[in-house]
């Protein structure tokens, strides 16, 4: 056992490391998937009653099919709206609670008969050292500081609580409540993220390795617990089905085959192990990795096969190291084996729980070499890791800085260039944005989003003909890319090619019939083509879908005037002015129609209103004189 002074000093170092690692995470901004999941996610606006928040997520969100994760966001929204600090605080609390659960799991496991003689007396400080390293490791920043990845840490918390509750149940003379707690925690984990699917298997393996001695004995002693744990797979299957393959980003039949994805994972898993030992460089987004050549994969695949074989042998012989190896591989398996995650071949947040197995193994190895002196060594190491984690958290202070960092570390990542360009576009730095989009397309020519964004830049810089080429290429690559279709129509309209523009707008409306902006654009195209009645129908549809759409109301009034439907046009101009009183063109035309309809009082009121804004306007002054003369003539008539 370590001396009291060493123990107290080590605990202080671990606490300092935790504070150092996470003190600056609260200043992190919303980045990438945070915005759709938190800012644009209508389902979190109200957390009670829970029906909409548990079932109303869009399938393209990180929290889709993960109702507990979405509910936690709704609670955050209720407490503090979209202020990022509150979300970071909850993320950090989840991480700390997960650390406490991990401490309990390690400490109680080390006191089992298979490990008691070697590690039992030092179980508390060994658990403290491993947990401390896990809590501050820089590899955890993506799961903790990237706020939408709360789904990973929340799943990790319930995974660890499931295992902890099982251990307490196996040790208790009356295990009922602990078993119920294990099943409840397992269900909550399934509602947090799909990786939880391996939790019942890990519990069974822990039981067989440290308690029952065989799978058969584990089943005989605790069959109802395993029935309960297994039943949690049913709601998980339902939640997965509701996502529709996570909007096409995961599952079989996509752009990446299982064989290609498995080859990539041979590199990815060993990369994770290297980052666990040396966490540099840490990368926010690795992009869509190319299928690596077999020559590069084969040595790593053989190494992984060896590790898997060693794990299988150790599990067969009921070695504790086998459980740690199985922990690592089973938790990684759902995302890092052969089921393609097309948009994310490699992601550091996947190591949130697997990292614990590697750190426990390292701490136990350190104990074997230098005994209790491993505690201050681990504490000092935790302090260094905490400093690295704090430095990494600085990158999350702004989305712009994070994508710049990603481009520097992964210059072959087309998605990083595209996202950085998008941020430049938001800052109106069009030259920098264009450079990023062209680089993204150099790296990945068939990239619809980059073609679209480049088209927007070209349109904003007056190069409409070039913009049309890029926008239509985005449509060719992604047929349902209606934003690209509509913006191509807008550029064609500016080029005087109204018939082509109208065709694009009509195609977009077939998929989105309730899009007021597209109805308005189509109305403009029809107006240019002289199809006034059809233009009127589109302007009226736009105003119906969005009653405050002043431009659509004005367009309808103009069409009615050209169709000589004067009384209706007068009413439409009044409606347009209700929506936008500053529209002097609508006010002038209303005055003219009132004058034409021999309503001089109304015409005079409109002209005088215009002259308050444009005193001395000669055309309006002339019309005003005519209206006053008409009124005077009407007043002197017998």
Going from the C-alpha of 429 to that of each of 403, 420, 437, the distances in angstroms are 16, 11, 12
At 1, the pLDDT band (50, 70, 90 cuts) reads low
pLDDT of residue 36: 87
pLDDT of residue 48: 76
pLDDT of residue 442: 98
pLDDT of residue 87: 95
| Residue 370 to residue 347: CA distance in whole angstroms | 34
- Cβ neighbourhood burial of 604 (10 Å; 0-12, 13-18, 19+): buried
201-227 pLDDT, tens digit each: 999 999 999 999 999 999 999 999 999
Q: What mean pLDDT comes out for the span 289-302?
A: 89
Give yes or no for a contact between 421 and 453, defined as CB atoms under 8 angstroms apart: yes
Give yes or no for a contact between 79 and 16, defined as CB atoms under 8 angstroms apart: no
Give yes or no for a contact between 130 and 359, defined as CB atoms under 8 angstroms apart: yes
Q: What mean pLDDT comes out for the span 576-593?
A: 95
| Residue entry with tokens 């060493």 | 6
295-299, 443-447, 531-535, range with the lowest pLDDT: 295-299
Residue among 251, 201, 226 at smallest CA distance from 65: 251
Residue 543 pLDDT greater than 90, yes or no? yes
Give yes or no for a contact between 595 and 611, defined as CB atoms under 8 angstroms apart: no
Residue 361 pLDDT greater than 50, yes or no? yes
Beta bridge partners of 341: 250
Give yes or no for a contact between 486 and 476, defined as CB atoms under 8 angstroms apart: no
Residue 539 pLDDT greater than 50, yes or no? yes
pLDDT of residue 252: 67
Residue 637 pLDDT greater than 50, yes or no? no
CA dihedral over 127, 128, 133, 136, signed as positive or negative: positive
pLDDT of residue 151: 97
| Residue 284 to residue 174: CA distance in whole angstroms | 47
pLDDT of residue 3: 60
What dihedral do alpha carbons 417, 419, 423, 425 form, nearest 10°? 70
pLDDT of residue 8: 80
Helix-strand-coil percent breakdown of the chain, rounded to 5? 80, 0, 20
Calculate ∠ Cα 476-403-71, nearest 5°: 85
Beta bridge partners of 250: 341
User: Residues of the chain with pLDDT > 70: what percent?
Assistant: 97
Predicted TM-score (pTM) of the model is 0.91
Q: What mean pLDDT comes out for the span 299-313?
A: 96
User: Residues of the chain with pLDDT > 90: what percent?
Assistant: 84
Q: What mean pLDDT comes out for the span 549-575?
A: 96
Answer with the residue of higher pLDDT: 577 or 296: 577
| Residue 520 to residue 540: CA distance in whole angstroms | 9
pLDDT of residue 558: 97
pLDDT of residue 249: 66
| Residue 364 to residue 357: CA distance in whole angstroms | 11
In the three-class reduction of DSSP (H, G, I as helix; E, B as strand; rest coil), residue 181 is classed as: helix
Give yes or no for a contact between 542 and 554, defined as CB atoms under 8 angstroms apart: no
pLDDT of residue 88: 96
Answer with the residue of higher pLDDT: 341 or 385: 385
List the helix and strand counts (H, then E) for the chain.
33, 0
Helix (H) or strand (E) holding 369: helix 354-370
Q: What mean pLDDT comes out for the span 20-34?
A: 93
422-467 pLDDT, tens digit each: 999 999 999 999 999 999 999 999 999 999 999 999 999 999 999 9
| Residue 302 to residue 288: CA distance in whole angstroms | 24
Give yes or no for a contact between 565 and 596, defined as CB atoms under 8 angstroms apart: no
Give CA 377 to chain center in angstroms.
38
59-84 pLDDT, tens digit each: 888 899 999 999 999 999 999 988 99
Mean pLDDT taken over the chain:
93
pLDDT of residue 638: 45
Can you give the length of the chain in residues?
Answer: 638
478-528 pLDDT, tens digit each: 999 999 999 999 999 999 999 999 999 999 999 999 999 999 999 999 999
């Amino acid at each position: 056992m370590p001396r009291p002074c060493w123990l107290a000093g080590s605990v202080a170092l671990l606490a300092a490391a935790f504070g150092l690692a996470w003190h600056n995470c609260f200043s992190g901004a919303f980045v990438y998937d945070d915005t759709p999941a938190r800012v644009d996610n209508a389902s979190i606006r109200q957390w009670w009653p829970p029906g909409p928040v548990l079932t109303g997520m869009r399938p393209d969100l990180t929290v889709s099919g993960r109702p507990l994760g979405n509910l936690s966001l709704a609670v955050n929204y209720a407490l503090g709206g979209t202020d990022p600090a509150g979300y970071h605080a909850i993320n950090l609390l989840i991480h700390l609670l997960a650390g406490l659960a991990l401490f309990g799991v390690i400490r109680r496991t080390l006191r089992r008969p298979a490990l008691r003689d070697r590690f039992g007396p030092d179980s508390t400080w060994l658990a403290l050292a491993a947990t401390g390293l896990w809590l501050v490791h820089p590899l955890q920043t993506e799961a903790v500081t990237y706020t939408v990845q709360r789904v990973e840490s929340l799943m990790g918390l319930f995974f660890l609580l499931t295992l902890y509750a099982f251990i307490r149940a196996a040790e208790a003379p009356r295990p009922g409540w602990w078993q119920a707690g294990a099943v409840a925690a397992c269900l909550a984990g399934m509602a947090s993220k799909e990786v939880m699917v391996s939790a019942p298997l890990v519990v069974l393996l822990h039981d067989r390795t440290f308690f029952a001695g065989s799978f058969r004995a584990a089943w005989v002693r605790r069959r109802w617990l395993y029935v309960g744990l297994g039943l949690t797979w049913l709601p998980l299957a339902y939640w997965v089905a509701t996502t529709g393959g996570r909007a096409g980003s995961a599952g079989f039949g996509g752009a990446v085959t299982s064989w290609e994805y498995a080859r990539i994972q041979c590199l990815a898993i060993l990369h994770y192990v290297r980052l666990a030992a040396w966490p540099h460089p840490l990368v926010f987004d690795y992009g869509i990795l190319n299928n690596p050549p077999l020559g590069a994969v084969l040595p790593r695949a053989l190494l992984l096969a060896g590790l898997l074989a060693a794990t299988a042998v150790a599990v067969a012989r009921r070695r504790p190291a086998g459980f740690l190896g199985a922990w690592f591989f089973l938790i990684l398996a759902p995302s890092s084996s052969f089921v393609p995650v097309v948009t994310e071949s490699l992601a550091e947040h996947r190591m949130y729980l697997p990292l614990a197995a590697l750190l426990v193994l390292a701490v136990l190895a350190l104990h074997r070499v230098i005994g209790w002196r491993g505690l201050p060594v681990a504490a000092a190491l935790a302090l260094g890791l905490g400093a690295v984690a704090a430095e990494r958290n600085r990158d999350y202070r702004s989305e712009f800085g994070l994508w710049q960092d990603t481009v520097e570390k992964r210059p072959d990542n087309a998605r990083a260039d595209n996202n950085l360009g998008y941020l430049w576009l938001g800052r109106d730095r069009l030259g920098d944005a264009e450079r990023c989009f062209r680089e993204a397309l150099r790296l990945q020519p068939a990239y619809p989003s980059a073609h679209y964004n480049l088209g927007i830049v070209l349109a904003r810089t007056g190069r409409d003909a070039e913009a049309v080429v890029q926008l239509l290429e985005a449509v060719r690559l992604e047929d349902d890319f209606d934003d690209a279709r509509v913006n191509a129509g807008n550029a064609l309209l500016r080029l005087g090619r109204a018939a082509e523009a109208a065709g694009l707008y009509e195609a977009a409306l077939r998929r989105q019939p309730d899009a007021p902006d597209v109805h308005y654009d189509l109305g403009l195209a029809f107006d240019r083509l002289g199809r006034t009645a059809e233009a009127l129908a589109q302007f009226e549809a736009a105003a119906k879908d969005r009653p405050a759409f002043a431009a659509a109301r004005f367009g309808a009034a103009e069409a009615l005037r050209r169709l000589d439907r004067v009384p209706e046009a007068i009413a439409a101009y009044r409606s347009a002015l209700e929506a936008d009183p500053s529209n002097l063109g609508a006010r002038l035309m209303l005055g003219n129609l009132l004058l034409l309809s021999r309503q001089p009082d109304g015409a005079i009121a409109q002209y005088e209103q215009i002259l308050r804004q444009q005193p001395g306007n000669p055309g309006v002054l002339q019309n005003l004189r005519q209206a006053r003369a008409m009124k005077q003539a009407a007043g002197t008539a017998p």
